Amino acid sequence: MTQGPLVGVLLRVAGPIAAANIAQSAHQIINAIFVGRLGADAIAAVAASGPLFGVLLSLGSGLSTAGAVLVAQNTGAGKSGASDHVAAQTLLMVLAVGLGFALAGFLLAPASLRLMGVESGVFHLAWQYLSVTYAGLVPMYAFLALQAMLQAVGEVRFAMKAMLGAVALNILLDPLLIFGTAPLGGDWEGLGVPGAALATVIAQGAAFAVLLRHMMSGHSPLHLKRHDFRPDRHHIRLALGIGLPASIEQGARTFGSLLLMALTALFGTVSLAAYGVGTRPFFFWFAPMIGLSIATSAVVGQNIGAGQTERAREAARISAGLAFLGFTAIGIIHLPLLRPLMALMAPGETEVIAEAVTFGWAVFPFMGFMAVTQALNGAFRGAGSPRQAMTISLVMQYALQIPFAWAAALFTTLGVLAVWWSYAFSNVLAAALCIAWLLRGPWQRNLVKE
């Protein structure tokens, strides 16, 4: 990552990461297709559950981000032993935090669902889905942390294979656990909505076991050794300094989605289900955006660690350009495909399909701006400056998107359309803020020296 043409380096690293993320997003769409056959209440239940679980998952992601940044910079500096130590300490902290968050999720979910204003028919299904999901939170956290650190060290293909295997297992388990053996003539009718959550928990638990075995075998660039698991106060302080802003950023983003979900729920089950259906294909392409962001973070981090600051800056500029051109084109291509795509995920639900198509027309043409924000925030994180990424995300959602959505939805004739258009409004301005910060603000920080 510290040598060779940067366009090729970024694409080579981003390709497997994006492929893994796309596979995960494809599974989410397939999962939505299965759940969609259970009716609008089931669709709305999964849609309402997503942000609640996502808040906890995002809060825990900060430690994974800290581990990935430190691994990347130490690898760039040629300090493999330090990278191994970081990996072990990160996994230790992630396991501890996961246990605490899983318990918090169980305790707070019912009140959170009520606060969102979820209708009674949806509440029970959403609570069932969340209960199963929270039970698998610890292996999910651990899998995502190990995957992030393997990507940071450049072992992107093995991480991709583990994710693809998890997705394949998840897809195989989905119809069995959701519908049971009844479609095949058996007596078991399946678990319904909770079956979708259980399939994901089993698949990601298996993927975590595969990555852990690989990293303890000595065959990976990151080698987890027993003595590195002894708690290291210096590393914990450094990791928290990096991870806390990243956790706040991710958690605030997901909580913002929860506020938008609550606003959408005020307009009824059809609008809530349309939000769940409409965001599926949108977030499908969010996955490769994150892939490019992670690749940018790894490339920038390794070059910062190696002392090549100008190459790190150039990597950030190239990544932003690739993001804007590529994802603007993808968004425009999708416009004539929106109706059949939404119909596939909500068969027979005419009102839900129509509202989801409206959502798509409001957000897809502006995907390039969202991709620029993700690419440059990845650069800021890789350079050891997660506070910049956190600040931009907070401004984007809490100073721009959410005030616009709530004010326009409740005090103008736009109604739920204000929620749809808030995505375009906030992402265009956030991209401009990221570019200004890249050109003028201090954002490069060598953590290896610290």
pLDDT, tens only, 74-129: 888 888 888 898 889 988 888 888 888 888 888 888 888 887 777 777 888 888 88
The whole-number pLDDT of residue 82 equals 86
Per DSSP, the residues of 352-376 read HHHHHHHHHHHHGGGHHHHHHHHHH
Per DSSP, the residues of 92-123 read HHHHHHHHHHHHHHHHHHHHHHHHTT--HHHH
The whole-number pLDDT of residue 136 equals 84
Distance (Å, whole) CA 352 – CA 411: 24
pLDDT, tens only, 301-357: 888 888 888 888 899 999 999 999 999 999 999 899 888 888 887 787 888 888 888
Residue spans of the domains in the chain: they are: 6-440
Tell me, rounded to whole angstroms, the distance of Cα 328 from its chain centroid: 20
Distance (Å, whole) CA 316 – CA 329: 20
pLDDT band at 227 (very low <50, low <70, confident <90, very high): confident
Q: What percent of the chain has pLDDT over 70?
A: 95
pTM over 0.85: no
Q: How far apart are the first and last CA of the chain?
A: 22
| Residue 406 CA neighbour count, 13 Å, CB half | 14
Lowest mean pLDDT among 147-151, 198-202, 244-248: 244-248
Lowest mean pLDDT among 19-33, 133-147, 225-239: 19-33
pLDDT, tens only, 44-62: 787 777 767 766 776 667 7
The total of other beta-carbon atoms located within 10 Å of residue 205's CB is 17
Average pLDDT of the chain to the nearest whole number: 84
